[in-house]
Structure 1
Amino acid sequence: MISSNERYTRGEKALAEIDGQAGQAVIDSLADIAPDLARYVIEFAFGDVYSRPGLDLRAREIATIAALTAMGTARPQLKVHINAGINVGLSQQEVVETIMQMAVYAGFPSALNGIAAAREVFAERALAA
Structure 2
Amino acid sequence: MTEHSADYRRALDRAEGILGFSLAPYVDPGPSEPANAYDFTRIATEHAFNDVWPRDEHLDLRTRALVSVTITASLGILEPLRGQLRIALRNGVTKEEIVEAFIQMAVYAGVARAFDSYAVAREVFAEQGGPDTA
Q: TM-score, normalised on structure 1? A: 0.81
Match of 2:80 in 1: 77
AA partner of residue 95 (structure 1)? I
Greater relative contact order, per chain length (Cα 8 Å cut-off, separation 6+) = 1
Native 8 Å contact 1:83 1:121 kept in 2 = yes
Identical residues among aligned pairs (%): 33
- Number of residue pairs the alignment of both structures matches: 120
Note the aligned Cα RMSD (angstroms). Answer: 2.1
More moved, 7-16 vs 62-71:
7-16
2: CA distance, partners of 1:36 / 1:100: 38
2: CA distance, partners of 1:116 / 1:52: 30
Structure 1 residues 37 and 125, CA gap change in structure 2 (3 angstroms): farther
Runs of 4+ in 1 over 6 A off after TM superposition: none
Match of 2:122 in 1: 119
Alignment of 1:97 with 2:100, yes or no, is yes
Cα offsets for 1:94-128 (capped at 9, x unmatched): 1111122111110001110111010011112229x
AA partner of residue 28 (structure 1)? P
Cα offsets for 1:63-110 (capped at 9, x unmatched): 1111111101x1010000000001111111111111221111100011
Runs of at least 5 residues in structure 1 that lack an aligned partner in the other structure: none
Structure with max Cα Rg = 2
Match of 2:17 in 1: 17
Between structures 1 and 2, the one with greater helix share: 1
2: CA distance, partners of 1:44 / 1:100: 30
Q: TM-score, normalised on structure 2? A: 0.79
Q: Matched residue of 1:59: which SS?
A: helix
